[in-house]
């Protein structure tokens, strides 16, 4: 039964959902008898861990903050997060060196998952990118060119929109007031473009990046990519304690994620999830954990 950060994203039958909003009896995507299936939760408990440390595991398929005793599925069997932390090379100071097993990952199946609701994914992305602007909500975007405002921008704001460019690569979208316009219909391709628009453009073509602090957007993005079945790879930079996370498209799905960083972190509370049946695994932030 993993104890996860409350902002961890799991995939419910209706789509991505925060660990903190799960309730007993809910079903989340996992692995049952070696097959991808929904796992019913027998208990969901909020644990106050103030003063204690959790473990932040970063891989090229996703990252997760979990309790030190929580088990994660690796190529060498189940390992606790505390075990992974202990595999760091203690003689390496200010560096991230260690001999870690690969982590079992779920990044989708090459196509949108049957049952995935594209319009709901768009709505969740929109809500995560939304913030306060002058007298209206705006959506922060980082890699939307002026040419894409009409199509992808309109999809994000739900109608005709305008964009204000800002410093350090950010811009903001808002709906044009006083002009009734029909919201474009969301497609899987459109949602993918909207997701990438919320990230900042990286240095190279096809590379996107996000400040590490924007965790909710990053973790939701992972779930949306899995729902869309779009393969991707992540890179956390710099390794000793990342400042930003890079996202790049890849050609094939990865089922074994490489660990890049394992760090102790302070956290206020965790959500402890336990499956109703034994021998199940659940998928959180696209990484497989023992339930």
Partner 1 sequence: MSRSAPRPPYPVAVAKVSQKRADALPVERRVGKFVARAESKEAFASFEEELQRQARAALTNPDRLLTIPHLRNSIAARMEDVEPATSDLIDGYILHWIGEGQLARLNTISRAMSAYQSIFWGTLGSVVSGAIATVLQALVEQQSLTLEEAARLLPNSLLFKLQHVEVLFGHLIYLGFASTDVAPGVPIESIRVPYASPRF
CB-count exposure of residue 49 (10 Å: 0-12, 13-18, 19+): middle
Residue from 183, 264, 272, 274 in contact with partner 1 (CB under 8 A): 264
Residue 175 binds partner 1 (CB under 8 A): no
Backbone angles phi, psi at 104, to 5 degrees: -70, 130
User: Residues 190, 197: contact at Cβ < 8 Å?
Assistant: no
Site for partner 1 in 106-135 (CB under 8 A): 131-135
**Helix axes of 118-129 and 188-198: crossing angle, nearest 10 degrees:** 10
In the complex with partner 1, which residue's Cβ is closer, 249 or 264? Answer: 264
Which residues, including other chains, have CB under 8 Å from residue 102's CB and lie 6 or more apart? 74, 75, 256, 257, 258, 259
CA angle 109-115-118, nearest 5°?
A: 90
Residue 92 binds partner 1 (CB under 8 A): yes
Residue from 79, 126, 174, 218 in contact with partner 1 (CB under 8 A): 174
Straight-line distance from the first to the last Cα atom of the chain, in angstroms, rounded to the nearest whole number: 4
In the complex with partner 1, which residue's Cβ is closer, 111 or 213? Answer: 213
Residue from 82, 101, 107, 142 in contact with partner 1 (CB under 8 A): 142
Residue from 79, 126, 140, 175 in contact with partner 1 (CB under 8 A): 140
Residue 146 binds partner 1 (CB under 8 A): no
User: Residues 47, 271: contact at Cβ < 8 Å?
Assistant: yes
Residue 136 binds partner 1 (CB under 8 A): yes
CA angle 150-153-154, nearest 5°?
A: 70
**Interacting span for partner 1 (CB under 8 A) from 57-65, 95-103, 144-152, 250-258:** 95-103
For residue 177, what is the DSSP state?
Answer: T
**Interacting span for partner 1 (CB under 8 A) from 64-72, 84-92, 269-277, 278-286:** 84-92
Residue 145 binds partner 1 (CB under 8 A): no
Residues forming the site for partner 1 (CB under 8 A): 89, 91-97, 131-136, 138, 140, 142, 164, 166-168, 170, 172, 174, 211-214, 240-241, 243, 263-266
């Amino acid at each position: 039964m993993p104890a996860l950060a409350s902002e961890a994203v799991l995939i419910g039958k209706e789509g991505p959902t925060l660990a903190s909003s799960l309730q007993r009896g809910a079903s989340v995507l996992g692995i049952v008898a070696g097959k991808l299936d929904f796992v019913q939760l027998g208990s969901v408990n909020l644990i106050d861990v103030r003063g204690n440390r959790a473990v932040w595991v970063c891989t090229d398929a996703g990252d997760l903050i979990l309790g030190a005793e929580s088990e994660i599925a690796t190529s060498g069997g189940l390992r606790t997060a505390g075990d992974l932390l202990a595999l760091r090379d203690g003689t390496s100071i200010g560096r991230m060196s260690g001999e870690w097993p690969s982590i079992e990952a779920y990044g989708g199946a090459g196509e949108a998952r049957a049952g995935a609701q594209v319009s709901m994914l768009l709505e969740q992305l929109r809500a995560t990118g939304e913030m306060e602007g002058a007298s209206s909500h705006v959506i922060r975007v980082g890699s939307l060119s002026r040419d894409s405002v009409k199509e992808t921008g309109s999809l994000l704001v739900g109608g005709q929109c305008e964009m204000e460019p800002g410093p350090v690569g950010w811009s903001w979208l808002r709906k044009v007031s006083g002009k009734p316009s029909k919201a474009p219909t969301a497609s899987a391709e459109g949602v993918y473009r909207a997701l990438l628009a919320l990230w900042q453009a990286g240095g190279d073509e096809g590379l996107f990046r996000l400040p590490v602090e924007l965790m909710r957007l990053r973790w939701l993005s992972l779930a949306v990519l899995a729902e869309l079945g779009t393969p991707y790879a992540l890179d956390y930079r710099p390794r000793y304690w990342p400042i930003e996370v890079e996202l790049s498209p890849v050609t094939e799905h990865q089922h074994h994620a490489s660990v890049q960083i394992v760090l102790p972190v302070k956290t206020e509370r965790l959500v402890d999830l336990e499956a109703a049946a034994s021998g199940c695994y659940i998928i959180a932030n696209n990484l497989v954990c023992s339930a």
